[in-house]
Amino acid sequence: MNANLLQTPIDYLKGIGPNRAEILRKEIGVHTYGDLLNFFPNRYLDKTRFYKIAELERNSAEVQIVGKIVHLRTVEQKKSKRLVADFVDETGKMELVWFRGQKWIRENLKLNTPYVIFGKTNWYNGLFSMPHPDMELVEDYKKQLRTAMQPVYPSTEKLGKAGITNRVISRCVQQLFLESGGKFLDPLPPHLREELHLLPKAEALFNAHFPKSQELLAKAQFRLKFEELFYIQVQLLMKNLIRKQKIKGFPFEAVGSYFSDFYRDHLPFDLTNAQKKVIKEIRQDLGSGAQMNRLLQGDVGSGKTIVALMSVLLALDNDFQTCIMAPTEILAIQHYNGISELVADLGITVRLLTGSTKTSERREIHAALESGELHLLIGTHALLEEKVQFKNLGLAIIDEQHRFGVAQRARLWKKNHLPPHVLVMTATPIPRTLAMSLYGDLDVSVIDELPPGRKEIKTVHRYDSNRLKVFKFIRDEVRKGRQVYVVYPLIQESESMDYKDLMDGYESIAREFPMPEFQISIVHGQMKPADKDYEMDRFVKGETQIMVATTVIEVGVNVPNASVMIIESAERFGLSQLHQLRGRVGRGADQSYCILMTGHKLSNDSKTRLETMVRTADGFEIAEVDLKLRGPGDLMGTQQSGILNLKIADIVKDNDILKTARHHALQLLKEDPNLELEKNRVVKFTYSQLVKEKTIWNYIS
């Protein structure tokens, strides 16, 4: 079938018309025939089998049963009444219940006559019941033509109001198959279909909408998911290949005195094997002549900063400038302080540029950058301003990269005639599944061991009713000379409520830990930056023992003497956030603790999050659980919420299909990197269409 038909505006499909077309565009993004074809049902009513009452399971599935009504009665309730029927087959009895339309139903139901009923069952008081069942006399049922499994499409309130029901959408899709004669171009090459025993495209599409059986539905879904994920991988891998061929990077050929002297004389501790391995990977990239685009993942406290610094020194050895960009001022200042201290004896010029840098200082920085005397600039988004021009930027390091949007990163690239090498760092471990899809065109390095001497943080979950014991524990730790964080959730929409929670918490802690024996700092989002810094500073210097804060301390505050993290209303935090907060302690030699405080009422997801935190400190395992709980859309934060606009595949559930798709995309491109072989002609055509439509997410470069 020609691809042009699929581009036809949806208005022209029989049964749609301009008004309905407008609603379909607005509500579910269906603009063309092709969009409708790829608008898949999200569940199916399986009317292929009949259940016996004795076989029913306590689940939310919809079932159909054949039986008879033997008795009808009206049951009075407080404000209304309901109609209840006893429905039996040869294996048992259940109830059918109606809350509306009772008069009509009572008049039209036939007792002791075989019916087919269909609906969702509930289990109550030792009996199954079915509210408002679909009912049909067996003799009428036998006369009708029907497909075995019925599709149920996603819907919205406005679609329903406009009369675009499930039946209407289903009819439109049928009409589309009629108009196209069910012929569709197959974008997968025959050799791949044979190897994986995949259904042809047309058959897969038909069975995804109107499956003839459970088995054919599974085959159809596998085929379509594989195709979707395969082309994502082809695009990402092609992009990586093209980048390595086309985008030349500055070759860092020398390993000079900055790198060697620092390694020999100034390294504050021995590097772990994981750090050595990653530095080696980075050195190979920097010397290859192609632009480096590497993602460095490492858990909180695994020593990413030292790796970043060693990369900076390699750039300086080759006479290039470098920059490190962090998402928040606190984190930028921390990088600046930490790195300045490490390179104090190396004669390197390091400056800090953030939103609050004074104008006079900015001018100095701009001049020093353009003349080349400034070696390393550390800062926030301020680095992206037009006025910030480097003499020769050779390496850009981006910390916590998911906090930066695509356009922002592109602005960094434009500061040079050749794009700088890029090292992206994150302490939010990204599960392999997501890394393969989001960063398929980045090379990934992982620091998967913590520096020696780190004790594992003991994590416990306590209910509010144990609060007095928790206070006693805090008192004991403070008397040993340790410091404590108490963190309250911050949820933007309800800042006033959060502020009240924080203030109430602060007051109860101030009562429990009175001055002068105890000193308390408080930090929250409504304070002026100067006041915030003052309070933070007191805690860092050890002048206060307890820091009451909102999540502003989530990223990057380093106080080795702080050994207790108490997270209030822990059920209101996401898993990765809990993990990040826990990483604020355990930075010194003392045993550290993380205490998760909650009320007794917890949702299942909250229980799973808390159990996971208590069970493991492995950031990657935590990220996998988080991904399963939240789905891929949320995981990457708002900037990339539109990322995986997948039609049928699900990155989490279809992890295995994703791996298979990546494997086959890699094989194909290894054998035929430019897609010139006759057998891959259809892949080349499909790839060129996708590139035209810009479906590949240009996150990284």
Q: What is the predicted pLDDT for the residue at 638?
A: 31
Asked whether the beta carbons of 555 and 327 are under 8 A apart, the reply is yes
Domain shared by 105 and 2, yes or no: no
pLDDT tens-digit map of 207-221: 999 888 878 888 999
Q: Confidence band (pLDDT; 50, 70, 90) for 1? A: low
| Distance in angstroms (rounded) separating the CA atoms of residues 227 and 201 | 9
Q: Confidence band (pLDDT; 50, 70, 90) for 79? A: confident
Task: Inform me whether the pLDDT recorded for 403 exceeds 60.
Answer: no
Q: How far is CA 601 from the centre of its chain?
A: 26
| Mean local confidence (pLDDT), 451-464 | 86
Torsion of CA 30, 35, 37, 40, to 10 degrees: -70
Task: Inform me whether the pLDDT recorded for 699 exceeds 50.
Answer: no
User: Going by DSSP bridges, is the β-strand pair 546-549/92-98 parallel, antiparallel, or unpaired?
Assistant: unpaired
Q: Confidence band (pLDDT; 50, 70, 90) for 576? A: confident
Q: What is the predicted pLDDT for the residue at 147?
A: 58
| Mean local confidence (pLDDT), 369-375 | 94
Instruction: Give the number of C-alpha atoms closer than 13 A to the C-alpha of residue 103, restricted to the C-beta side.
Output: 0
Q: What is the predicted pLDDT for the residue at 148?
A: 66
Q: What is the predicted pLDDT for the residue at 3?
A: 62
More confidently predicted of 429 and 665:
665
Q: Write down the residue that tokens 């210097």 correspond to.
A: 541
Domain shared by 130 and 163, yes or no: no
Three-state secondary structure call for residue 343: coil
Domain shared by 126 and 152, yes or no: no
Q: Write down the residue that tokens 């928790």 correspond to.
A: 470
Three-state secondary structure call for residue 109: coil
Q: Write down the residue that tokens 């390294």 correspond to.
A: 267
Q: What is the predicted pLDDT for the residue at 438?
A: 61
Helix 655-671 and helix 214-246: axis angle, to 10°? 50
Q: What is the predicted pLDDT for the residue at 557?
A: 63
Q: Confidence band (pLDDT; 50, 70, 90) for 340? A: very high
Task: Inform me whether the pLDDT recorded for 286 exceeds 60.
Answer: yes
Q: Is residue 355 part of a domain?
A: yes
Q: Confidence band (pLDDT; 50, 70, 90) for 324? A: very high
Q: What percentage of the chain has pLDDT greater than the value 90?
A: 43
Task: Inform me whether the pLDDT recorded for 644 exceeds 60.
Answer: no
Domain shared by 374 and 489, yes or no: no
| Distance in angstroms (rounded) separating the CA atoms of residues 689 and 686 | 5
Q: Confidence band (pLDDT; 50, 70, 90) for 456? A: confident
| Distance in angstroms (rounded) separating the CA atoms of residues 448 and 619 | 9
Range of the domain at 498: 458-616
Task: Inform me whether the pLDDT recorded for 406 exceeds 80.
Answer: no
More confidently predicted of 668 and 299:
668
| Distance in angstroms (rounded) separating the CA atoms of residues 374 and 391 | 9
Which conformational region is residue 549 in: left (phi greater than 0), alpha (psi within -120 to 50 degrees), or beta?
beta
- What's the 3-state SS for 475-543? HHHHHCCCEEEEECCCCHHHHHHHHHHHHHHHHHHHHHCCCCCCCEEEECCCCCHHHHHHHHHHHHCCC
Q: Is residue 356 part of a domain?
A: yes
Asked whether the beta carbons of 234 and 663 are under 8 A apart, the reply is no
Task: Inform me whether the pLDDT recorded for 656 exceeds 90.
Answer: no
Q: Which of 336, 309, 332, 323 is nearest to 391 (CA)?
A: 323
Q: What is the predicted pLDDT for the residue at 312?
A: 96
Q: What is the predicted pLDDT for the residue at 153?
A: 92
More confidently predicted of 86 and 647:
86
| Mean local confidence (pLDDT), 86-97 | 95
Select from 550, 585, 616 the last residue of a domain: 616
pLDDT tens-digit map of 658-679: 889 989 999 999 999 999 999 9
Task: Inform me whether the pLDDT recorded for 694 exceeds 70.
Answer: no
| Distance in angstroms (rounded) separating the CA atoms of residues 576 and 582 | 10
Q: Write down the residue that tokens 């989530």 correspond to.
A: 554
Task: Inform me whether the pLDDT recorded for 642 exceeds 50.
Answer: no
pLDDT tens-digit map of 228-253: 999 988 988 888 777 777 777 788 88
Residue 424: count other Cβ atoms within 10 Å of its Cβ. 22
- DSSP label at 306? H
- Which residues pair with residue 118 across a beta bridge? 64, 134
User: Which of 206-215, 360-369, 625-634 holds the top average pLDDT?
Assistant: 360-369
Three-state secondary structure call for residue 598: strand
Q: Is residue 17 part of a domain?
A: yes
Q: Is residue 642 part of a domain?
A: no
Q: What is the predicted pLDDT for the residue at 495?
A: 58
Domain shared by 420 and 526, yes or no: no
| Distance in angstroms (rounded) separating the CA atoms of residues 448 and 329 | 27
Task: Inform me whether the pLDDT recorded for 555 exceeds 70.
Answer: no
Domain shared by 97 and 29, yes or no: no
Q: Is residue 398 part of a domain?
A: yes
Select from 116, 135, 154 the last residue of a domain: 135
| Mean local confidence (pLDDT), 601-625 | 87
CATH number at residue 129: 2.40.50.140
- What's the 3-state SS for 566-595? EECCHHHCCHHHHHHHHCCCCCCCCCCEEE
Domain shared by 269 and 387, yes or no: yes
Averaged pLDDT score across all residues of the chain: 85
Asked whether the beta carbons of 247 and 419 are under 8 A apart, the reply is yes
Three-state secondary structure call for residue 171: helix
Q: Is residue 189 part of a domain?
A: no
Q: What is the predicted pLDDT for the residue at 701?
A: 35
Q: Is the peptide bond before 189 cis (omega within 30 degrees of 0)?
A: no
Helices (H) and strands (E) in the chain, counts: 25, 22
User: Going by DSSP bridges, is the β-strand pair 546-549/520-523 parallel, antiparallel, or unpaired?
Assistant: parallel
| Mean local confidence (pLDDT), 354-362 | 91
Asked whether the beta carbons of 566 and 598 are under 8 A apart, the reply is no
Q: What is the predicted pLDDT for the residue at 407?
A: 59
Task: Inform me whether the pLDDT recorded for 71 exceeds 50.
Answer: yes
pLDDT tens-digit map of 147-201: 567 889 998 888 888 888 888 899 899 999 988 888 888 999 999 999 999 999 9
More confidently predicted of 454 and 21:
21
Q: Is residue 451 part of a domain?
A: no
Q: What percentage of the chain has pLDDT greater than the value 70?
A: 89
Q: Which of 336, 272, 340 is nearest to 307 (CA)?
A: 272
| Distance in angstroms (rounded) separating the CA atoms of residues 647 and 649 | 6
Domain shared by 407 and 276, yes or no: yes
Domain shared by 28 and 160, yes or no: yes
242, amino acid identity: I
Least confident range from 73-82, 235-244, 310-319: namely 235-244
Task: Inform me whether the pLDDT recorded for 543 exceeds 90.
Answer: yes
Task: Inform me whether the pLDDT recorded for 2 exceeds 70.
Answer: no
Exposed, middle or buried, 94 (CB in 10 Å: 0-12/13-18/19+)? buried
Least confident range from 257-261, 420-424, 497-501, 527-531: namely 497-501
- DSSP label at 429? P
| Mean local confidence (pLDDT), 31-39 | 93
Q: What is the predicted pLDDT for the residue at 523?
A: 86
Domain shared by 489 and 612, yes or no: yes
CATH number at residue 604: 3.40.50.300
Q: How many domains does the chain have?
A: 4
Helix 619-635 and helix 575-582: axis angle, to 10°? 140
Q: Is the peptide bond before 516 cis (omega within 30 degrees of 0)?
A: yes
Domain shared by 173 and 26, yes or no: yes
| Distance in angstroms (rounded) separating the CA atoms of residues 118 and 271 | 65
Asked whether the beta carbons of 395 and 322 are under 8 A apart, the reply is yes
Task: Inform me whether the pLDDT recorded for 698 exceeds 50.
Answer: no
CA-to-CA dists, residue 559 to 166, 200, 225, 537, angstroms: 58, 60, 47, 10
Q: Which of 594, 576, 574 is nearest to 584 (CA)?
A: 594
Domain shared by 521 and 550, yes or no: yes
Task: At 188, list the tokens.
Answer: 């997968």
Exposed, middle or buried, 180 (CB in 10 Å: 0-12/13-18/19+)? middle
Task: At 630, list the tokens.
Answer: 């939240």
Q: Is residue 445 part of a domain?
A: no
Q: What is the predicted pLDDT for the residue at 68?
A: 96
Continuous segment of H or E residues that includes residue 122: strand 122-124
Q: What is the predicted pLDDT for the residue at 60?
A: 62
Q: What is the predicted pLDDT for the residue at 496?
A: 62
Task: At 467, list the tokens.
Answer: 């609060």
